[in-house]
Amino acid sequence: MIRDYFSNLSQRYASKWLVFCIDLTIVLITLFSAYLIRFNFTLNFDTQQFFVQLPFMAIVAATSFLVVGSHKSVIRHTGFTDVVNVFKSVVLIATIASVGVFINRTTSLMPSFTIPFSIIVIHSLLSFVALAGSRLIFKLGYNYLKCKFKTSKNILIYGAGDSGIITYNALLNGTDKSFNIINFIDDDIKKRGKLINGINIISSKEINEKFIRTNRIDEIIVASQTIEPKRLIKLVDSLIDLDVQVKKVPPIEKWIDGEFSANQIKQVQIEDLLGRPPIEIDNPNLINEFKGETIVVTGAAGSIGSELVNQLSKFDVKHLILIDQAESALYDVQQDLKRSGKHNFTAIVADIRDGLRIDIIFQYHKPTMVFHAAAYKHVPLMEKSPYEAIKINVNGTKLLADTASRYNVKKFVFVSTDKAVNPTSVMGATKRMAEMYISCLQKESKTKFITTRFGNVLGSNGSVIPLFKKQIEEGGPLTLTHKDITRYFMTIPEASQLVLEAGTMGKGGEIFIFDMGECVKIYDLAKNMIKLSGLRYPEDIDIRITGLRPGEKLYEELLANGENTLSTYHKKIMISKTRDLDYEKVKASIEELCITNRFQSNNIVMKMKQLIPEYKSNNSDYERFDKRVQIYKKVKGISEEKSSKTYGNL
């Protein structure tokens, strides 16, 4: 056991003591070299006196190395700090030696012992050059052998700023892989043509197919923290047909403990290709808004709901009540909160369609705010089940809103969708009805009812991104309903932040819409996902067009016909200016629809079309009812203008 202990001890400390011995040897050799230089490369000096000086300098050098600790650095990762430590050691050697010689001369303790000060100066210079140079030579030799005996990748680093240099050092110092940095890329005219550690800085305009093939480039690593999304998209598109991977250095705030390593470099994510900068919220009012509040989040286990919970948990809330009917997913959210040290929450398995259950929850916990994210959202499935869509999206919202109003909840924030605008599907129509009911309830309630409306959320349950990822893993093809289909996208954190911000600024009755940038062509998104997976389109994975699904739009809208917006203090959030509704009639019609026509899909859809004038089915069996609704209006003598005034064209 003792033998094992010393064996482990030797393995742990052998490297630094070897460096210590080598450094000590270098110091003694440079002392001899200093004499040679001082005496014109002859031995015309007192060699007997020299051999007396050697042990003195050995003791001084050993003491200096132990004090500074320059021998403890990992030589193959030598950097500027290590060179500074070598310099400190050399200065300390010269200082101790000079002081020792001076004291000896003044006190005559050893009259026969002395070292010329010129020798000390020459020795210091030689020692620093030799110690630093030996480390540099070892590092270069190590990197050369590593590249020679390990498979290396040819790399271009996009960005010649601080982040690019840090990335360069991280790649060279990585031990598990070998990288050969070919060039830095930077479009700053002042940097172009200059060198970083002997590596040339070139313009992005020089990156073409010929350059990539000539230099056998394997990867381009985007180290720039300020690259515009459009520039990144252009870069990915330009390499779409070449066997080159594009990777990205994460933002500095995501570096582990402020340190960056090569392992943190990841593939460019599809979120990076939205064509707009990330939406960021930095509103100190949010802290005061949620401080001390008891907040209910419905759909708390869903994509948006769980992120709302995550972000709300970071505020000084009094209590969070998480409601969802999916027990397994709710359990996962519960465990995530516990692991992050949060305990001021209650996870409740409940169905928002159960009015009595919801009433009991409100009665017991007395919430002051509600974020309602529970909903059925899959368009094709809801097209087949209008009754279920009504139960959750309309009746569930109605029961929850009524309960919130009855218990005088301060704010009720409803998460809607852009599919509620000029709906072409049952799902979109039900969300529009829920918006209308909330608008009606606002007129008679003390609760501030606020609606937020945004498009598709990247990575959310049932969205196109997880589907494409799964299809890529299975070898394809990727299925796309139409080559020209477009969608607005935002990330889950962005959507949740905007919901919280809108909830803060809402005064009651508003429909907030979010600026989601330019719409994204799904066909281009599919090709980029194939490319980012290291595959080629169509050689490795093809894209198959399947045709629009029932109720699906070719493009989404954030505003309906005749709508316009009012600006807010946040440039990404606007308020939709809507037409007035005949609130009593609309509210009564929605209440009637929630309790009648069970399981009778045709009757449900007919009533929805009568209630929502702009609801026109697309690629659906219910298209035949659009003509019937027009006939119904003519028989009843209801003009389009009158219909819009009654129900509101939103």
DSSP helix/strand/coil, 116: coil
CB 443 within 8 A of CB 583: yes
Contacts of 412 (CB under 8 A, 6+ apart): 369, 370, 372, 400, 401, 404, 405, 438, 447, 448, 449, 450
CB 482 within 8 A of CB 526: no
Terminal alpha carbon distance of the chain: 81
Helix 426-442 and helix 583-595, axial crossing angle in degrees, nearest 10: 130
224: left (phi over 0), alpha (psi -120 to 50) or beta: beta
Helices (H), 69-182: 80-107, 117-149, 162-173
Tokens of 177: 């892989």
Burial class of residue 292, CB neighbours in 10 A (0-12, 13-18, 19+)? exposed
* Tokens 């004291």, located at residue: 103
Chain centre to alpha carbon of residue 373: 22
Tokens of 405: 């109003």
Give the C-alpha separation, 270 to 196, whole Å. Answer: 31
CB 499 within 8 A of CB 279: no
CB 583 within 8 A of CB 440: yes
Helix 327-339 and helix 303-312, axial crossing angle in degrees, nearest 10: 20
Reference 491, options 513, 465, 453; nearest CA is 465
For 402-432, b where at least 16 C-beta lie within 10 A, e where not — what string?
A: bbbbebebebbbbbbbbbbbbbbbbbbbbbb
Give the C-alpha separation, 210 to 190, whole Å. Answer: 25
CB 477 within 8 A of CB 471: yes
Contacts of 117 (CB under 8 A, 6+ apart): 98, 101
Residue type, 389: A
Half-sphere exposure of 644 (CA within 13 A, CB side): 13
Chain centre to alpha carbon of residue 395: 36
Known catalytic residues?
419
CB 212 within 8 A of CB 197: no
H-run or E-run covering 553 = none
Residue 246 sits at the vertex; the CA angle it makes with 243 and 248, to the nearest 5 degrees, is: 165
